[in-house]
């Protein structure tokens, strides 16, 4: 029996059961949940970097977005509040659409 020991989407146990297999799960406490979300974000980020196609890259970005929304809730915000923070930062500092690549800064 494979051991996973990782955070999964809410419906995964039902999907496993529906396929005729059995699985064991447990509910994480708040601190474990926060840590496992951070681990999951790194996992999804690694999968995005390794994506072999545009579609696969988009799917991994969607997974990352789901994890980011859950993390926002853990930190006391909802998706709308997080997007407002993003928009405020974009207004103040810009986004990434212009492809600016900073080489160095002369401190003299």
**Mean pLDDT for each consecutive 10-residue tract of the chain (108 residues)?**
94 97 97 98 98 98 98 97 97 97 94
The set of residues, in sequence order, having a beta carbon less than 8 Å from that of 40 and lying 6+ positions away, is: 6, 7, 67
Asked if residue 12 is part of any domain, the answer here is: no
Domain containing 51: what range? 28-84
Asked if residue 16 is part of any domain, the answer here is: no
Asked if residue 13 is part of any domain, the answer here is: no
Asked if residue 106 is part of any domain, the answer here is: no
pLDDT value of position 1: 79
Main-chain dihedrals φ then ψ at residue 36, nearest 5 degrees = -70, -30
Element at 93 (helix H, strand E): helix 79-93
* Both tokens assigned to 44: 């999804």
SS3 75: coil
pLDDT value of position 72: 98
For the chain, how many structural domains are there in total?
1
Asked if residue 48 is part of any domain, the answer here is: yes
Asked if residue 18 is part of any domain, the answer here is: no
pLDDT value of position 56: 98
Asked if residue 40 is part of any domain, the answer here is: yes
Question: From residue 56, how far is each of 48, 88, 92 by CA, in Å?
Answer: 8, 30, 32
pLDDT value of position 33: 98
Asked if residue 65 is part of any domain, the answer here is: yes
Q: How big is the chain by its Cα radius of gyration, in Å?
A: 18
């Amino acid at each position: 029996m494979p051991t996973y020991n990782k955070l999964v989407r809410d419906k995964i146990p039902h999907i496993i059961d529906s396929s005729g297999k059995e699985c064991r799960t447990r509910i994480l406490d708040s601190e474990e949940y926060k840590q496992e979300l951070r681990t999951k974000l790194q996992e999804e980020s690694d999968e995005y970097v390794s994506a072999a196609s545009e579609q696969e890259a988009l799917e991994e970005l969607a997974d990352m977005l789901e994890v980011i929304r859950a993390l926002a809730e853990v930190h006391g915000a909802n998706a709308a509040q997080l997007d407002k923070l993003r928009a405020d930062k974009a207004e103040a500092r810009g986004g990434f659409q212009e492809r600016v690549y900073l080489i160095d800064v002369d401190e003299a």
